[in-house]
Structures are given as structure tokens and as C-alpha cells.
Amino acid sequence: MLSFLVLGPMEVRTHDRTVTFKGPIQQTLLAMFLCSGEKLITVNALIEELWGTTPPATVENALQANISRLRRTLARLEPRRQESRLATRTSGYQFNLERAELDAAKMLETVDSIRARAGNYRRRDVADLREVLALWRGPVFGGLTGGPICQAAVAKYDEYRTAALVMLYEAELAGGEHAKIVPELRELVTENSSQECFSSLLMIALYRSGRQTDALTVARQLRTNLIDELGIEPSPAVQDLERAILNHDIRMRQENTELPWLSYRSGRAA
């Protein structure tokens, strides 16, 4: 069984080596097959993904040549495999992929499973989330732009990563690990200066660590970033959280793990 990695630079791993694909056409071709699972991809969709509105004059030949090249590369990695991973169908091509072979599939399944558990297994959730977040090695597909199929996959995987991060730190807060996660949340806030979810989590963690002033500083910086970058004020939920911190709202007490700003226990983290 091969391991296909897309949560970072694209790699294919066997038991004894790692292979990378060179050239944007081969990379895009593999990326779109991997993110489509075993769905049939039509010839027209492949052409649009690879060449957009400016395909080469002999586009069918070019597509077939690149399909054959990808087949040969994969076949060399699995010399004992009897059937090609890439099957030709009447109207397109279908990639033979087990979900366990793709790192992104594991991330999606983990997040969905934890949502379904609705916070009933906090320690297990934390362990599972940290394990799956460790799969993330950089921009999806190594920063490959691709076409509509790849772009939709990038957006989906990015959203799931954000959901996993939010669920992880909400679960840590629910377990009283506020001081432990402050450094990690600071790094996330620095990297995502206008995302309210990470700033809100950092504000709660700081307040519960006895650092009210620092928590309010985060709130003020978030407001500045939102106004400067997006021209908007913080959401009503963030403004309510800031007031709660300023007024030492009873809901902010450490032992109260079901704050209205958190959704982990209800399985709604997103």
C-alpha cells in the first residue's frame, strides 16, 4: 500500500522511499485524482483543470501522454500490483484509492468523528486531534494552484484544519489546560491576525491564566487588525467576550467549561 501525502508538499511514500512528482502538469493531475477519491473525472474536467481556457492544439494527445506517464510512475512504485491505479472509463478516468492511503482523508474522518462524539471523550479527542494536525506539513499540495477541483479541495482541507485547531484548543480549555496552550495560540494568532476564532481562544486562555490585561490587549489588537485589513469591527460574539473579560463575568470562571463562546462540547466546532 502506498501513502499519498497532500497536506504539504505532495509526496508518495512506499515502505522504503519517498517520491515527488516534478512538473506542474503531473503534480496537478495527481492532485486532482487524489482529492477526487474514486470519483470518475471526465476528460473535459481534466482538460479544464490542467490547461484552463488555453489548452494545446493537440490537447487529447497531451492528456493521454500525461496519463500514461503518471501510470508508469505509479506502476514502478507498486511492481506487484496487477491492475493499474488509474483506470480508463468511457467518458474519463477513475483513480483507485483507499481512504487510508491519503493523509487528507484521515484528517477529514477524524474531525467528523470528533464532531459526532460531541465532547464526550475529551482526552481521546485531544490525542486524536494532535495526531491528525501533525500530518500538516505546509500549504496543501505544496502551494500548487491547479484548477477548480484542486482549488475546492484546498479550501476544504484548510477549513477542516481550522476546525481541528479550534476543537483542539477548546477541548484543552475544557480540561483546564489554559496556561499550556497560550504559546501555541499566540503563534496561531500571529499567523492569522484577522481570524476571530484563534484570538478569542487566546483571550480566554490568558484570562483563565490570571492575565486579564493581556487578554484585553489581544482584543484591542484584533479590532485594529480587522479594521485595517478588512474594514470591519469585531463580531458581536467577540465584543461580548471582551466585555465579559473586562467585567470579570462569572461565566469566565475556570471551572465553567461550557462558555457560550465555545462549541466543542456540542460538536459544533468549525
Q: Is 120 left (phi over 0), alpha (psi -120 to 50) or beta?
A: alpha
At 78, the amino acid letter reads: E
Q: What is the pLDDT along the chain (270 residues), one digit of tens a residue?
A: 799 999 999 999 998 889 998 899 999 999 999 999 889 999 999 999 999 988 899 999 999 999 999 999 999 998 888 888 999 998 899 999 998 999 999 999 999 999 888 767 889 999 999 999 999 999 999 999 899 999 999 999 999 999 999 999 999 998 889 999 999 999 999 999 889 999 999 999 999 999 999 999 999 999 999 999 999 999 999 999 999 999 998 877 755 556 666 765 555 554
pTM above 0.85, yes or no: yes
| Cα–Cα nearest to 267, from 137, 166, 128, 156 | 166
- As a whole-number percent, the residues of the chain with pLDDT over 70 amount to 94
Residues 242, 228, 142, 127, Cα dihedral to 10°: 0
Q: What is the pLDDT of residues 219-266, one digit of tens each?
A: 999 999 999 999 999 999 999 999 999 999 887 775 555 666 676 555
Rounded distance between C-alpha atoms, residue 63 and residue 59, angstroms? 6
Residues β-bridged to residue 18: 13
CA angle 7, 49, 43 (to 5 degrees): 120
Q: Which sign does the torsion angle of CA 251, 252, 257, 259 carry?
A: positive
Task: Determine what percent of the chain falls in helix, strand and coil, rounding each to the nearest 5.
Answer: 60, 5, 35
Q: Is 99 left (phi over 0), alpha (psi -120 to 50) or beta?
A: alpha
